[in-house]
Amino acid sequence: MCGRFSLATDIDSLQEQFNFEFNDEVTINPRFNVAPSQQILTIGSNGGKRIGMTMKWGLVPSWSKDSKIGYKMINARAEGIDQKPSFKTPFKRKRCLIVCDGFYEWKKEGKNKQPFRFVMQDGRPFAFAGLWDEWDKNGEPLYSCTIITTTPNEITEEVHNRMPVILEEDAYDLWMDSKMNDTEYLKSLLIPFPAKKMKSYPVSTIVNSPKNDVADCLAPINSL
C-alpha cells in the first residue's frame, strides 16, 4: 500500500518540472508527512493542458451515499482495476498524476515497525498513477483521488509487499488523456518502477504520527 508521502519541493520548481498551470490563489506549502484524508496536489489534463489542483486523498465514488467511504479508498490495486466498481469508471476517463518527492513504508522488526523513505536516485520529484472522481451530495462538489499500487520491485520488497505505481515521464500525457481508452495499454503502465532508479533509507519514527509534519521526517536516522 501507500499510506504516507512527502512533497517538500516548492510549487515553482514543480511547475517547471511537470509543466502545469495552477491556481495561484491556492497555497501549496512544503509537506513532510502527508496522510490520507488530507488535500494533496494532483495534475490532470484539460484540452491538452496540464492542470494542477488539490484533491482529498481517499476516493469517494460519484455514486456513493456517504463520503466516509473515502477512508477505505486511499489505494487502488492495479490487479483488476478495470473491473472493480469503485475504480472502473475513473480508470476509463478520470486518471491523474499525484505528485510527491518521496514515500514511506514500514518494515516489521520484531515487535516494532521501522519506517523507511523511498526516493529517486537523482532526488527529483516524481508522480504516482492516480484516479479521481467528483462526489456531490451536499450541494458542493468534493474532488477526491486514490493512488494505484502494484507488486514491489527489488528495493521496496525488502520493506513491504506492495508499492505505489510510479509513472515514467513519457507516459504522463497518455495516462491523463481522458480520450485514451486502450485499457490493455493503460494496464501495462501499472508495473513496478525500476529499482535501479530508486533508493531508500530508514527515518525516524516521528513519521508514524501525521501530526509530525516536520522536515526531520525526511532525514536519515544517522543524520539526526
Q: H-type helices in the chain, by residue range?
A: 11-18, 88-93, 172-176, 183-188
Is 200 within 8 Å of 155 (Cβ atoms)? yes
Residue at 18: amino acid letter: F
Say if residue 26's pLDDT is above 80.
no
- The predicted model scores a pTM of 0.96
pLDDT one-digit tens code per residue, 177-193: 999 999 999 999 999 99
pLDDT one-digit tens code per residue, 99-152: 999 999 999 888 889 999 999 999 999 999 999 999 987 778 999 999 999 999
Q: Which residues are catalytic?
A: 2, 105
**Average model confidence (pLDDT) across the chain:** 94
β-pair partners for 203: 220
Is 221 within 8 Å of 204 (Cβ atoms)? yes
Residues with Cβ within 8 Å of residue 15, at least 6 apart in sequence: 21, 22, 52
Say if residue 43's pLDDT is above 70.
yes
Class of domain 4-218: alpha beta
Q: Which three cell numbers stand for residue 90?
A: 475513473
Q: Where are the beta strands (DSSP E) in 78-125?
A: 95-100, 102-109, 112-120
Instruction: Please report which confidence band the pLDDT of residue 223 belongs to, taking 50, 70 and 90 as the band edges.
Output: low
**Cα–Cα distance measured from residue 224 to residue 220, given in angstroms and rounded to the nearest whole number:** 7
